[in-house]
Amino acid sequence: MPFIVLEGPEGAGKTTQLRLLAEWLTEAGETVVAVREPGGTPLGDEIRRLLLEPSSDIAPRAESLLFMASRAQLIEREITPALEKGATVLLDRFFLSTYAYQVAGRGLPHEEIGSANRLATSALRPDVTLLLTLPGEEGLKRAGARGPSDRIERADAAFHERVSRAFEEFATRDWQRAHPEAGPVVTVDARGTTDEVFARVVATLQQRWPGTFPSRTAHSR
CATH of the domain at 93: 3.40.50.300
Give CA–CA dist 137/142, Å, rounded: 9
Give CA–CA dist 179/176, Å, rounded: 5
pTM of the model: 0.92
Q: Average pLDDT for residues 27-49, to the nearest whole number?
A: 97
**pLDDT of residue 87 exceeding 50:** yes
Do 120 and 101 form a contact (C-beta atoms < 8 A)? Answer: no
**pLDDT of residue 90 exceeding 50:** yes
- The dihedral through the CA atoms of 43, 47, 49, 50 has a sign that is positive
> What pLDDT band is residue 137 in, cutting at 50, 70 and 90?
low
The maximal CA–CA distance of the chain, rounded, in angstroms, is 49
**pLDDT of residue 125 exceeding 80:** yes
The count of domains in the chain is 1
Closest CA to 89 of 97, 100, 81: 81
* For the chain, percent of residues with pLDDT exceeding 90: 82
Amino acid at 91: L
Domain-embedded: residue 219: no
For residue 216, the model assigns a pLDDT of 62
Domain-embedded: residue 22: yes
Domain-embedded: residue 217: no
Domain-embedded: residue 215: no
Domain-embedded: residue 80: yes
For residue 153, the model assigns a pLDDT of 87
Which residues span the domain enclosing 125?
Answer: 3-208
Q: Average pLDDT for residues 40-62, to the nearest whole number?
A: 97
